[in-house]
């Protein structure tokens, strides 16, 4: 894992997101709605909702906005039903891309995702065509500047709570967990007052691919930008070594 901490990219994403908080809040709002529908409105009895709330706070979503989203999802019997859908495909030079979406109209979302791939000279593939080259893991990133705890102490808290791996990078710490242990590890860190720059279950590439061709980079960026602009798209995973 060392050498592939994406903290710089996370900071870049956050800066972009600051200019488009509405997009991020829409995404998280949908996740809250699904979590409440599946497990109820009480975070104490709904670990998935706790994880979404943690993600909301990491993205600076105000507490009253979070509370309103939970109450709305719990009290609105006519709320929109969102479905999770996933797409896999290839960008330029065979870059592997996975797109997770949360949608109320699968036809619309499929058309938009396909268009994003096509405009970037890529193509949608069949389910499973690239996901075999990713590992589903819980990933927690901690900014060193916001963490006063000694690295060894932080590592022991994470490992004792069930983490699989702990890496110290130049400006951050990266904690990797099995998806089933993610909530336990995140909550153990939260209890210690440790701020997390990012905490979510993600897809981590087994290998990264460098792009040296400028046209390929431009086309891939076009696809990623189009996907980023789509409100239905929740997450995009790829193995491009940016």
Per-residue pLDDT of the chain (242 residues; tens, 9 = 90+): 334 555 656 555 555 555 566 778 888 999 999 999 889 999 999 999 999 998 888 888 999 999 999 998 888 766 678 889 999 999 999 999 999 999 999 999 999 999 999 999 999 999 999 999 999 999 999 999 999 999 999 999 999 999 999 999 888 999 999 999 999 999 999 999 999 988 989 999 999 999 999 999 999 999 999 999 898 999 999 999 97
**Residues in CB range of 11: below 8 A, 6 or more apart:** 197
Contact 98, 86 (CB under 8 A): yes
Contact 128, 198 (CB under 8 A): no
Q: What is the CATH number of the domain that holds 170?
A: 3.30.70.980
Q: Are residues 159 and 59 in the same domain?
A: no
Q: Are residues 168 and 198 in the same domain?
A: yes
Q: Are residues 66 and 161 in the same domain?
A: no
Residue-level pLDDT at 65: 92
- CA distances (Å), origin 240, targets 88, 124, 217: 15, 17, 9
Q: How far apart are CA 55 and CA 242, in angstroms?
A: 24
- 35-67 residues labelled b (16+ CB within 10 A) or e (exposed): bbeeeebebeebbbbbbbbbbbbbbebeeeebe
Q: How many domains does the chain have?
A: 3
Q: In this structure, is residue 242 part of a structural domain?
A: no
Q: How far apart are CA 19 and CA 170, in angstroms?
A: 27
Q: Return the H-helix or E-strand segment holding 158.
A: helix 151-161
Residue-level pLDDT at 3: 43
Q: How far apart are CA 79 and CA 73, in angstroms?
A: 7
Q: In this structure, is residue 120 part of a structural domain?
A: yes
Q: In this structure, is residue 241 part of a structural domain?
A: no
Q: In this structure, is residue 32 part of a structural domain?
A: yes
- 204-231 residues labelled b (16+ CB within 10 A) or e (exposed): bbeeeeebeeeebbebbbbbbebbeebe
Give the residue from 113, 93, 84, 138 showing the smallest Cα distance to 226. 113
Which tokens sit at 113? 């995702």
78: how many CB neighbours lie within 10 A of its CB?
5
Q: How far apart are CA 242 and CA 222, in angstroms?
A: 14
Q: Which domain holds residue 23?
A: 4-73
- CA distances (Å), origin 169, targets 6, 50, 91, 195: 10, 27, 29, 17
Q: Are residues 26 and 140 in the same domain?
A: no
Residue-level pLDDT at 8: 59
Q: Are residues 46 and 166 in the same domain?
A: no
Q: What is the CATH number of the domain that holds 25?
A: 1.10.10.200
Residue-level pLDDT at 50: 92
Q: Are residues 146 and 104 in the same domain?
A: no
Q: Are residues 186 and 221 in the same domain?
A: no
Q: Are residues 165 and 181 in the same domain?
A: yes
């Amino acid at each position: 894992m060392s050498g592939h901490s994406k903290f710089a990219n996370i900071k870049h994403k956050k800066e972009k997101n600051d200019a488009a908080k509405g997009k991020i809040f829409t995404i998280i709002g949908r996740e809250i709605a699904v979590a409440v529908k599946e497990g109820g409105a009480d975070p104490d009895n709904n670990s998935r909702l706790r994880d979404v709330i943690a993600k909301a706070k990491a993205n600076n979503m105000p507490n009253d906005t979070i509370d309103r989203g939970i109450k709305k999802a719990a009290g609105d019997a006519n709320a929109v039903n969102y479905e999770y859908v996933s797409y896999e495909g290839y960008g330029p030079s065979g870059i592997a891309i996975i797109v997770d979406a949360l949608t109320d109209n699968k036809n619309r979302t499929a058309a938009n995702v396909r268009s994003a791939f096509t405009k970037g000279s890529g193509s949608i593939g069949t389910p499973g065509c690239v996901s075999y080259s990713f590992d589903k893991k819980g990933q927690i990133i901690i900014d060193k500047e916001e963490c006063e705890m000694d690295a060894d102490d932080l590592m022991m808290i994470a490992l004792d709570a069930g983490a699989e791996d702990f890496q110290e990078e130049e400006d951050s710490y990266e904690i990797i967990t099995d998806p089933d242990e993610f909530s336990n590890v995140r909550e153990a860190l939260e209890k210690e007052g440790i701020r997390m720059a990012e905490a979510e279950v993600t897809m981590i590439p087994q290998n990264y691919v460098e792009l040296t061709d400028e046209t390929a980079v431009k086309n891939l960026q076009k696809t990623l930008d189009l996907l980023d602009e789509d409100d239905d798209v929740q997450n995009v995973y790829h193995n491009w070594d940016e």
